[in-house]
Amino acid sequence: MLVREREGCSGDREGEIIGDEILSGQQKDTNSHFICTHLYNCGVKVKKISVICDDVEIIADEIRDYSSKYKYVITAGGVGPTHDDVTYEGLAKAFNDNLHYHPLILDIVKKLFNIQNETSPGLKLAYIPQKSSLKFGKEIQFPCINVENVYVFPGSPRYLEPSFQALCKDLFSGPRKFIKKKLCINVTEELFANALTTVSKEFPHVKFGSYPVADQSDYQVIVTIESDNEHDTDIAIKRFRDLAPPNIFKNIEI
């Protein structure tokens, strides 16, 4: 996954998943949801998620392009011991770098997987770009690999989740936080769409969302109102309630 931030726009990022198994439907992507949730809690909003195949040229091109345009790039996947794990190769190619066996990671891999054989495929995990820096989180045995503004995480949720959770705040957190509130509405969207359009224009710095739900008997739509401070969120809610038809709101705020 590449999670990217536009220069000058703190907190706005996009994302990309690397892996043929995602594109073929063999594996379900849970990493993007996990990463987006933690980034959001750190005041970071993901703008886009893309999925690309296990191809060195495509990975290199994508990393090179995003790295030149955005503040952060986060990748997930393609760092294992098999032939289709080529993220490090693509990363090195993107920055005209060479791969080498990092001595510290070699030691980590040997201990972590009890590797005795010097020709073991598992040692591929230590074959990283020479320009790499290592980012360790608390109680995380294997580091995040960092080259310039690119941060590489494993694709397996078993390894990605604790690693990303440990490093997210240190690497990507900023002063911005989001205040989101939700309103439950017991009519269909067309009955309040004009009010929502009006209030969204009146409050350009507040984000509004409308999401029909099918599994609730007491309301039909959830409307979200979100900004980076509670005052703006609250006055936008009040204005929307004033503009919308009366008696459409349930006494539920979630």
Q: Where are the domains of the chain?
A: 4-172, 179-253
Q: pLDDT grade, residue 19 (50/70/90)?
A: low
Question: H or E stretch including 131?
Answer: none
Average the pLDDT over each of 3-12, 117-126, 161-170 and give the range with the smallest value.
3-12
Note the pLDDT of residue 174: 75
User: Are 2 and 71 in contact, with CB atoms under 8 Å apart?
Assistant: no
Mean pLDDT of 7-36: 66
Q: Which fold has domain 179-253?
A: Alpha-Beta Plaits (3.30.70)
pLDDT, tens digit (0-9, with 9 covering 90-100), for 89-139 = 999 999 999 999 999 999 999 998 899 999 999 999 999 999 999 999 888
CATH 3.40.50.2000 fits 4-172, yes or no: no
Residue bearing the bigger pLDDT, 128 or 175: 128
